[in-house]
Amino acid sequence: MIPTSYPPAEEIARLTARALLEVKAVHFNAREPFKLASGLPSPTYIDCRKLISYPRLRATLMDFLAVTVMRNAGFEAFDNIAGGETAGIPFAAFVAERMALPMSYVRKKPKGYGRNARIEGNMTEGQRVLLIEDMTTDGGSKLSFVDAIRDTGATCAHTGVIFSYGIFPEITKTLGDHGVTLHSLCTWWDVLAEAKDSAAFDAETLTGVEAFLTDPRGWQAAQGA
């Protein structure tokens, strides 16, 4: 069912942050930092995949994502919803259902046999495709998916995510130079604010996390990265 309720963006961000904290998808540890996919250290880690196991939260956030994209990009702006392998696939399916649109997904690389396809499902030339993922850090990982979509003759000018780090300013240029606009529900700043309000972590941990969010590259350099 296409959502018809449109909460303000600030309320969507707050409730999304609360949901992520409630299911313990958010992990803070300034003393023993996590290692990101880039190999760099971080006192923060988030696992949006956990949301698929919580139907009430999942339904609410997928409504939020659908209305955010429609509000920002247009009600009739898309012909196909594509999920990025692997985390984006279930969320793309949920959003496609809400927007009453076909769904496909994009492999990280050709599967190496048969049609050697990167696109699974039915995507055709001229379709306007919305790429859905669970999250983004600096936006770089989205470019390969966008290129694979465009290789079919379809267009892809928008990507929607539940969570964006919101601390790497280069993301706007990275995606913008590729002709892509990012739509997200919340950032680390929203999560930090909600974590403070709910006392989800001790004060020392929150102070350490805030130091990282304020200057992530400087914080990583201080860790020897």
pLDDT at 1: 72
- What is the mean predicted confidence (pLDDT) over 102-126? 88
pLDDT at 163: 98
3-state secondary structure of 208: helix
In this structure, what token pair is assigned to residue 152? 């079919």
Q: What are the sequence ranges of the domains in the chain? A: 9-222
Provide φ and ψ at 79, rounded to 5°.
-120, -10
pLDDT at 214: 96
9-222 maps to CATH 3.40.50.300:
no
The 10 Å CB-count burial string (b at 16+, else e) for 27-43 is ebebeebeeeeeebbbb
pTM of this prediction?
0.94
Q: Rounded to whole angstroms, how far apart are CA atoms 48 and 62? A: 12
48 has a pLDDT exceeding 70: yes
Upper half-sphere CA count for residue 135 (Cβ side, 13 Å): 19
User: How far is Cα of residue 16 from the mean position of the Cα atoms in its chain?
Assistant: 12
pLDDT at 5: 73
pLDDT at 161: 98
Q: What is the pLDDT of residues 183-218, one digit of tens each?
A: 999 999 999 999 999 999 999 999 999 999 999 999
In this structure, what token pair is assigned to residue 217? 């590259």
64 has a pLDDT exceeding 70: yes
pLDDT at 43: 95
pLDDT at 114: 60
pLDDT band at 141 (very low <50, low <70, confident <90, very high): confident
Percent of the chain whose predicted confidence (pLDDT) is above 90: 82
pLDDT at 143: 95
Q: What is the pLDDT of residues 121-130, one digit of tens each?
A: 999 999 999 9
Tokens 């998808």 locate to 25
pLDDT at 188: 97
3 has a pLDDT exceeding 80: no
Amino acid in the structure at residue 186: C
Nearest to 177 by CA among 149, 154, 153, 157: 157
In this structure, what token pair is assigned to residue 50? 């956990």
Q: Where are the beta strands (DSSP E) in 1-127?
A: 26-28, 34-35, 41-42, 44-46, 80-84, 103-106, 119-120
State the average pLDDT for the chain.
Answer: 93
- What is the mean predicted confidence (pLDDT) over 130-159? 94
3-state secondary structure of 104: strand
Tokens 């919305």 locate to 130
